[in-house]
Amino acid sequence: MRAVNTPAPLPPPVTHYENFPVASLLCPPRLRAPIAAIYAFARTADDIADEGPASPAERLQDLAAYRADLHAIAAGKAPSPRWAGVFAPLAGMLHGHGLPVPLLNDLLSAFVQDIEKTRDAAGYTSRAELLDYCRRSANPVGRLLLHLYGVAGEQALRESDAICSALQLINFWQDLSVDIPRGRFYLPDDACATHGVTRAMLQALQPTPRTTALITEHARWARALMLEGAPLVHRLPGRIGWELRLVVQGGLRILDKVDALQGYSLCRRPRIRAWDVPVMLGRALVM
């Protein structure tokens, strides 16, 4: 669940959208309304895909209707009354700030994929497939924020994407003990095969030398992506740059905890605690 260049802060790596920094005190007042509208759009779609007793077919049907409302307001038409609290504010922000509709569409396509993968208990065949999911589930948030802050340039976008993809991957490696029992398998199939790890071994939720090596390898991958995007903090002015530093350090701190568990993140969810904050602040200061 669930990035930046002179943009607004990124969602922390703890959940998908629950901690999206809506109307953050570090955000300029003029951008609080569009950021809140984007949050409401993403949070509601996430709930459609993930919450309540609806069947996969019903969830997919609801997301199709949700997408139709997005396309309606993009065309200057009225949405259905079902999600008026989401689409009425978003319509104004969409046109007032020129929000790129394809990025919002990408978010919805990722939610659809979540439903389909979970329904079929299907995994991801490779890192490339997993990164394509991150491209649609996480990277649009960073790009939307960059758009609001008027930040452009290929280097900035690449760094933003790297941070957002890293945050999504960190969310996966943090939530193995939660996702696997729900039929969500994010450790790529080809890497599992290379390490001799079977689906049954993961579902046992007990670490073995093979599963530990697999998790360690993927935590290192997420760390490398985060460090690849980290130079972006130097492109961000003032308070926003400092918030991004803390987001980066929060993600890296979670990875520290995944590493320290030595494979036990299969059955224990690492969390940021109060005593981690001084560590993150100190690291942010020396970035």
pLDDT of amino acid 24: 53
Question: Would the pLDDT of 22 be above 80?
Answer: no
pLDDT tens for 48-78 read: 998 899 999 999 999 999 999 999 999 999 9
pLDDT tens for 92-107 read: 999 999 999 999 999 9
User: Which structure tokens are listed for 271?
Assistant: 């969390």
Contact 73, 99 (CB under 8 A): no
Question: Would the pLDDT of 26 be above 70?
Answer: no
- Each domain of the chain, given as residue ranges in start order, spans 29-285
What is 184-218 written as a DSSP string? -B-S-HHHHHHHT--HHHHHTT---HHHHHHHHHH
- The mean pLDDT value for 243-268 works out to 94
pLDDT of amino acid 19: 38
Question: Would the pLDDT of 139 be above 50?
Answer: yes
What's the rounded Cα separation, in Å, for the pair 59 and 1?
18
Q: How far is CA 250 from CA 69, 170, 185, 279, in A?
A: 35, 10, 24, 10
**Residue 221, SS3 per DSSP:** helix
242 vs 258: which has the higher pLDDT? 258
Question: Would the pLDDT of 12 be above 50?
Answer: no
Tell which phi-psi region holds residue 27, choosing left (phi > 0), alpha (psi between -120 and 50) or beta.
beta
pLDDT of amino acid 42: 94
Contact 190, 37 (CB under 8 A): no
The CATH number of 29-285 is: 1.10.600.10
Report the first-to-last Cα separation within the chain, whole angstroms. 25
Which of 95-99, 122-126, 148-152, 178-182 has the lowest average pLDDT? 148-152
20 vs 78: which has the higher pLDDT? 78
pLDDT of amino acid 25: 55
pLDDT of amino acid 149: 84
Contact 222, 169 (CB under 8 A): yes
CB proximity list for 209: less than 8 A, separation 6 or greater: none
Instruction: Say what percent of the chain tops pLDDT 70.
Output: 91
Contact 202, 180 (CB under 8 A): yes
pLDDT of amino acid 14: 35
Average model confidence (pLDDT) for the chain? 89
CB proximity list for 206: less than 8 A, separation 6 or greater: 266, 267
pLDDT of amino acid 1: 38
What's the rounded Cα separation, in Å, for the pair 159 and 177?
29
pLDDT of amino acid 136: 97
Half-sphere exposure of 5 (CA within 13 A, CB side): 21
